[in-house]
Structure 1
Amino acid sequence: MTDKDFHFLVESAGMAPSSDNTQPWTFSPGPDFIDVYMVRDRLLAIDVLDMYSFISIGAAIENMILAAGIRGLECRPDFSPADALDQKNDSSQSLIPVARLHFTPADSVSAYPAVTFSERHTDRRKFSTRVLPDSMIKELSGAAAGSGTAVHWIRDIDTRKQLVGIDSVFSSILLSHPPLFDGLFNTVKFSRRKLLSDGWGMDIKSLDLPFPAAIALRIFGSRSLGRIIARWGVGPLVAKGLSERLSFCGALCLVTAPGRSRRAFLEAGRTMQSVWLKATELGLSVHPYGVITQYLHMAELEPWRFTREAVATIKDAKPHFSGLFGCPETRHPVMILRLGYGTGRQRSRLTVRFPPEKIMTAVP
């Protein structure tokens, strides 16, 4: 593996999506391998088992695997470092080892279009409600790359509306509980200058918030605005408006994992990314949704973050949620993707990313 190979692989990995654009990864080269680390300083404030950070890194690894083929290399991921974390997680580590990727010469060079990495983006706008055809669902499902993972689909409008109802309830819990609200927006950057300076986090303009909501966030900040919403009891009304986007799509895809191990989350990230990239190739818009899946895990593993009433509400909703997707309750839901045909309006603003040199690390 040459220096040019390593640079291309890291550049490709860095284009992967990450929760709140935290980009919680860094990469260290070896003679024929790359070690993948999670950066503790860029983990989400509220993320049970660091699930979304591992999913994000899994997406970056999937990009790297595909990019390796373009360079005439074959990549074999080894997730045993992540397995070790399930046994003992050293909270003192600033860089947490999660995987080693081994590279060998491939028999041929992949024709995968590298431009797909940069063309993939999050689109939070409303999509056409035209249902995606069976042939497209089959192609998207066939792209799922993660071992042990599965994808489940909702397409008909009535079922989508039922999911809107569940998401509205969960989002209302979020908006009515200030600590959760503050955790949601603690990575938001209110100026382009601050975003460019830090190199990570969410540009408030990329959220496509209604103009009054964006102004209120700028004026009050997330903590104060969360308390205002909770005090005036308008959380359910705001939540309903935000959740309605779930009905504006051609299909909803649920990614599930066989368990809650770090390896399972990494594989789920690979599946999410491979489906997303295929959707990009097919000209579809994609928007990831994580509130429902996050809260289902959190209510079980970290119930102290909610009120008792909220915990009961979330747990009671799980069978209905699983039933909508035709998903066995033994599976662990980790991410919802909203997919559809774009409406021709301007797409969501692209996020700022670290340059490759900033996510390369020399680790002894």
Structure 2
Amino acid sequence: MRDAIHSILEQAIHAPSGENCQPWEFVARENSVSVYNLPERDNSLYNFRGRGSLVAHGALLENISLIAPTYGLRADIALFPEGEEARLIATVSFSSADTYVSPLVEWIPRRATNRKSYEKTYKLTEKERELIRNSPLSEEGEARLIEDEASRKELARAISLNERIIFENYDLHSFLFSHIRWTRKEEAEKGGGLYIETLELPPPVAGGFRHLFWRWRVLQALNRIGFSKFVALQNAGTYFSSSAIGALILPGSSPLHFLRAGRAIQRMWLRLTSAGLSMQPITGLVYLRERIVSGEPASLTPLHQTLILRSYLLIAHLFKVEDACIGMTFRIGRALPPTASSAHFSPNIL
């Protein structure tokens, strides 16, 4: 069984994580595995109280539960066995079961963030909407979609504020560029991170990323003539091209809520991939807002705090969110396949 567990983990790590940080390690035993968080892998401003990493771990656990029956095993998952503040995220116990291959398993390695522009005229079918709304894990949250043109345009502009702030905040800027991998060789040597081609940058912009935009002083000079606002405007256009912009609305904001949300998001994403649809999480602004309202703005300036809170109010209004928590925002549509996907490396199994 130990060999089967290793094989399951090798496949399950094809799960999304912030900047492809892959914040997990494993302790395997004869018939179980303990899943640990590695907080040092993702110390960005976005990962407030580790919520982004919890979503990533939820996606990982969903993969484990889908893959295990392929090996004639059942995966029983105990969440936070040592409490929600511990590094131990889950203990997964395996037992013999009937062999079953879920139709979603083949899509696990093929699921990828697609940052291309989507087909502007494509409208989701009712069947495609049901793939989003009727997740088997829907009790952990409700997926809401905005499809009408006027509201999508407002949402795209509000959410794209995140890209402006990335180029105006030193910490966010440094974190992004420290995780960009310029070649496949560098990606293999350093592990994790974002391979540059996954960002889908046109050649002139890609050149700017490599030679200019990583230099903070150069970027500050460019921002004085409106560069960061231009970046936000360009991204707003990309987001608006989607068939829908969605949000996963959670009943609470505890670590357990975010962990379970990760499972729901992964199941939804796999279903969309199997249907030929593309998806991109665009949730940075939501996590920055959580940091502000919790009284821990870190290096966010008063101006940025005001802009974030104002944009969030619009996002919450359009999604009709009052007392609930937005766990993730994302865009969906039809598009050409992504140019590249970031690599996932062999799991660290102790």
* Residues 155-234 of structure 1 aligned to structure 2 (within 5 Å): 155-220=147-212, 222-224=214-216, 225-234=218-227
Deviation at 1:99, TM superposition (A): 0.9
Alignment CA distance shift 1:229-1:275 (3 Å): farther
* Residues 280-359 of structure 1 aligned to structure 2 (within 5 Å): 280-301=273-294, 302-326=296-320, 328-342=321-335, 345-355=336-346, 358-359=347-348
Alignment CA distance shift 1:220-1:110 (3 Å): same
Counterpart for residue 8 of structure 1:
7
Q: For 2:16, what is the secondary structure of its paired residue?
A: coil
Deviation at 1:221, TM superposition (A): 5.5
Aligned counterparts of 1:333 and 1:174: Cα–Cα separation in 2: 21
Matched, 1:243 2:236: yes
Q: 1:120-149: per-residue Cα shift (whole Å, max 9, x none)?
A: 111110111312122211122222526522
RMSD: 2.1
Which consecutive unaligned segments of at least 5 residues does structure 2 have? none
Aligned counterparts of 1:351 and 1:112: Cα–Cα separation in 2: 23
Aligned counterparts of 1:70 and 1:147: Cα–Cα separation in 2: 26
Alignment CA distance shift 1:173-1:197 (3 Å): closer
Deviation at 1:299, TM superposition (A): 2.1
8 A Cα contact 1:260 1:332, kept in partner: yes
Aligned counterparts of 1:144 and 1:222: Cα–Cα separation in 2: 43
Aligned counterparts of 2:256 and 2:291: Cα–Cα separation in 1: 19
Alignment CA distance shift 1:229-1:274 (3 Å): farther
Aligned counterparts of 1:29 and 1:101: Cα–Cα separation in 2: 10
Aligned counterparts of 2:40 and 2:308: Cα–Cα separation in 1: 30
8 A Cα contact 1:65 1:74, kept in partner: yes
Alignment CA distance shift 1:203-1:68 (3 Å): same
Deviation at 1:82, TM superposition (A): 6.8
8 A Cα contact 1:123 1:287, kept in partner: yes
Q: 1:153-181: per-residue Cα shift (whole Å, max 9, x none)?
A: 11122211010121233432332233332
Alignment CA distance shift 1:133-1:193 (3 Å): same
TM-score by length of 1: 0.88
Which consecutive unaligned segments of at least 5 residues does structure 1 have? 90-95
8 A Cα contact 2:141 2:250, kept in partner: yes
Counterpart for residue 258 of structure 2:
265
Deviation at 1:117, TM superposition (A): 0.8
Deviation at 1:113, TM superposition (A): 4.5
TM-score by length of 2: 0.91
Alignment CA distance shift 1:80-1:146 (3 Å): farther
Q: Percent identity?
A: 25
Counterpart for residue 360 of structure 1:
349
> How many residue pairs get matched?
346
Deviation at 1:223, TM superposition (A): 4.5
Counterpart for residue 71 of structure 2:
71
Counterpart for residue 57 of structure 1:
57
Counterpart for residue 43 of structure 1:
42
Matched, 1:127 2:115: no
